[in-house]
Structure 1
Amino acid sequence: MEPSYRIVHQGGKSFVDVTALAAPLTTERDAADLVAVSWECETSLLMLPHEAFADEFFRLRTGLAGAVLQKFGNYGLTVAAVIPGWYERNDRFTELALESNKGRTFGVFDDRSAAEAWLLK
């Protein structure tokens, strides 16, 4: 998976802003590829668009969200997901997002500005 991305520098911090992926995340390997991009760019902060997530990610029983989030956490990434209307997906995903937003590893946001503010705080 070769993502398109740009590096955003602001307030003394930098993050990788993934603008497009050839295909959505469907495996732990895909998550590892994003970890590698983050390391190459020398930042642990990553912003992902809603297109980065396969439908399976939102169906928690598939285990994909858990595997992907575990991979990000194991490698110390802070990941902001821009998923407009995330709270309308399903009850289980909404619960996951609400709980995740309390921490600093994975956050889900309606828009880029909220995601960026969270990443850079």
Structure 2
Amino acid sequence: MPDVIQERAGVQVLVCDESGPPVATVQDALDLIGAAFAGAEVVAVPADRLEESFFSLSTRLAGEIMQKFVNYRLRLAIIGDISHHLETSTALRALVRESNRSDHIWFLPDLAALDARLSEL
């Protein structure tokens, strides 16, 4: 299934396919942002599509990608189990905790959790 815009909890969401191309660079994130401009307010990216370096905060990739979404006023939802990354990084755990308190970047276990979060808006 390709990346598609779906209405979820009354919000237009670009739901990215798990088997799509990896998000390994800022340009890859900008490509998703461009696709979202077809009417989406949120981009839901499977965690498995994110390059491993995204979860290593010393690479700064996560911060650069997240900042692009904030700059373009799009919400980013990273969907999936990232527990193996969280186990090894106190900094990543703090980032996830703070991001989930915000309105722009969320780390969620599945699309059902995204739907619940969107219904709170």
Q: Same fold (TM over 0.5)?
A: yes
Quote the offset at 1:11 in angstroms. Answer: 4.2
Cα 1:70–1:26, aligned 2, differ >3 Å: closer, same or farther? same
State the superposition RMSD in angstroms: 1.9
Which residue number corresponds to residue 42 of structure 2? 45
Measure, in 2, the Cα distance between the counterparts of 1:111 and 1:12.
Answer: 17
Which residue number corresponds to residue 104 of structure 1? 103
Match of 1:24, SS state, is coil
Measure, in 2, the Cα distance between the counterparts of 1:36 and 1:90.
Answer: 31
The residue type paired with residue 94 of structure 1 is R
Which residue number corresponds to residue 30 of structure 1? 28
Quote the offset at 1:103 in angstroms. Answer: 0.4
Match of 1:26, SS state, is coil
Measure, in 1, the Cα distance between the counterparts of 2:69 and 2:88.
Answer: 22
Between Structure 1 and Structure 2, which shows a larger proportion of strand residues? 1
Match of 2:37, SS state, is helix
Gaps of 5+ in 2: none
The residue type paired with residue 100 of structure 1 is S
Quote the offset at 1:89 in angstroms. Answer: 5.2
Sequence identity, in percent?
Answer: 27
Q: Using the TM superposition, name which of 23-32 and 52-61 deviates more.
A: 23-32
Which residue number corresponds to residue 70 of structure 1? 67
Match of 1:81 among 58, 78, 81: 78
Match of 2:7, SS state, is strand
Q: Kindly indicate whether the alpha-carbon contact (under 8 Å) linking 2:9 and 2:118 is maintained by their aligned counterparts in 1.
A: no
Measure, in 2, the Cα distance between the counterparts of 1:52 and 1:95.
Answer: 22
- 1:9-66 deviation line (CA, Å, top 9, x unaligned): 24432211111354321211111001001002x1221111112211100000001001
Match of 2:3, SS state, is strand
Gaps of 5+ in 1: none
